[in-house]
Amino acid sequence: MKISVIGTGKTGSRVVEMLGDRLLDAFDESNPPSVEKLKKADAVIIFVPGDAVPKLLEMVLASGTPAAWGSTGFDWPADLNRKVQTMRTRWVLATNFSLGMNLIRKAIESMSAGADVLKQPEFSIHEVHHIHKQDAPSGTAISWKEWLNKPAEITSERVGDVNGIHELIIKTATEEITLKHDALDRSIFAEGAIWAAEQLVSNQHLSEGVHTFGELFDSVTKPTS
């Protein structure tokens, strides 16, 4: 399998490094992608800021190449799934490509249901990232709130070169519960993006269209009995 990469910043460059001989091409401002170039790849992994997505969206779509998007800070078109289906291809959109984040997702969903028995619980989410991250709150923090499905304040902090720290705090008058995920190395996002790209190509259980990273994860994992 040959994979191309668009975006060679902090995470994209790690993807390029980890792909090794599976890398077909790495695109950036000095080597821009095109529809024809993207068609040569089995899949494409994209790590660009949200404001760069509009310039790439139609190009990637026109190529018909399975695409794993790690871009946040962008509002995806409401008809995106239909367009991807029309091209007979598969995309995955992820706010965070950490495979471990899917364990967090399941934990948050469980905590949300269990919190209903607590007396007047208050929910808050705090995220910390490097000073160069453009969007706040992070896409991951927004996803945490969606998984929680409860009113929650999100606070953000930008410090040094932090890869990503997220905390969910559930507080009552008598107790406090904290769930934390700390990205110790950016390679977890690269590993997850490569895994996702491979699933788009090889997982026959996936339908054509747009998928979440969680859907890919759930399609290859089964709950323990």
pLDDT in tens, the chain (225 residues): 999 999 999 899 999 999 999 999 999 999 999 999 999 999 999 999 999 999 999 999 999 999 999 998 899 999 999 999 999 999 999 989 999 999 999 999 999 999 999 999 999 999 999 999 989 999 999 999 999 999 999 999 999 999 999 999 999 999 999 999 999 998 999 999 999 999 999 998 899 999 999 999 998 886 544
CA distance 42 to 57: 18
Determine the Cα–Cα distance for residues 187 and 95; give it in Å rounded to an integer.
Answer: 15
Crossing angle of helices 101-114/139-148, nearest 10°? 40
* Pairwise CA distance, residues 7 & 22, whole Å: 17
Q: Please state, as a whole number, how many other Cβ atoms lie within 10 Å of the Cβ of residue 196.
A: 27
Question: What interhelical angle do 213-220 and 101-114 show, nearest 10?
Answer: 90
What is the value of pTM for the model shown? Answer: 0.84
- Helix or strand or coil: residue 144? helix
User: Domains of the chain by range and CATH?
Assistant: 3-97+187-220 (3.40.50.720), 101-182 (3.30.360.10)
How far apart CA 102 and CA 113 sit, in angstroms, is 17
